[in-house]
Amino acid sequence: MRGDDIREPVVAGSFYPGEPDILRQDIQRYLDAAKPPVSPEHVIGLISPHAGYQYSGGTAAYGYKLLPGKTYKRVIIFALSHRADFRGAAVFPGKGFKTPLGVVPVDMEVVKKLHEASSFITHSILAEQMEHSLEVQVPFLQIVLKEFLLVPVLIRDQDLSTCQKIVDLLLKVLPKDARNDTLVVGSTDLYHGSSYKECVHLDARLADTLILFDEKRFEDEMASEEFMACGPASIMATMLLSRAFGAQKISLLHLTNSQDVTGYRSDYVVGYLSAVLY
């Protein structure tokens, strides 16, 4: 990283290719293969996985396949902070977010207002140096949208109350017409564990609950271990903000897991889902 100016990529070359041409080719290959079952005229939000592209890139493409030809002034990404601990949300206050495909400008006006609005908005250097969950969404966005401003929001506490506070602050500082020109992306993986059968069952349960578009029920079932997610706050925050922007429905686009993608039955499996809010 270079101070507070540009956030350098930290998982290029591991979670996704570090060479620009190979990265473009890989993303385009995933997009070409994706066949979303719905194609809303106005996409307000996406739920997208955040594993290495070789595992979850094909699933992520189902959501991003809906975006070419659409224009957004800004993209707000909600993502889990896996390692750094903080209260509220960590929002990078610099000028740009870099990947091998170039630098995406941060929406500095919105980010500055967020930091000024509440101590609930912080900045975690540790999270920026170690976190992949937000970064892996950006190259897909660079390919399908070309130009946009980024509002990168990392969340540590995975409860609905935290999500509501973050969304309320965003609605306070965003321009009044933001609902018409803002895309919301929630970054999460699903089941993590040793049982393929359990993965399939619990992830199907999560998908059934997700499409009900009820964040309180989602939190309750998550707490009662009806299913698992590596980033439930990303889902709930995306629900809340997308609804505020006019979304009325969630549709499942794709559901799979690491063992189905690789064809290899190991002793560990992770679930991946793509969904659209409109």
Low-confidence ranges of the chain (pLDDT < 70): 1-4
- The neighbouring-strand residues paired with 183 are 75
CA angle 272, 20, 26 (to 5 degrees): 40
- Provide Rg for the chain, Cα atoms: 17
pTM over 0.85: yes
Q: Indicate the helix (H) or strand (E) that contains 88.
A: none
pLDDT at position 3 is: 41
- The neighbouring-strand residues paired with 255 are 273
pLDDT at position 146 is: 85
The CATH architecture to which 6-277 belongs is 3-Layer(aba) Sandwich (3.40)
pLDDT at position 2 is: 41
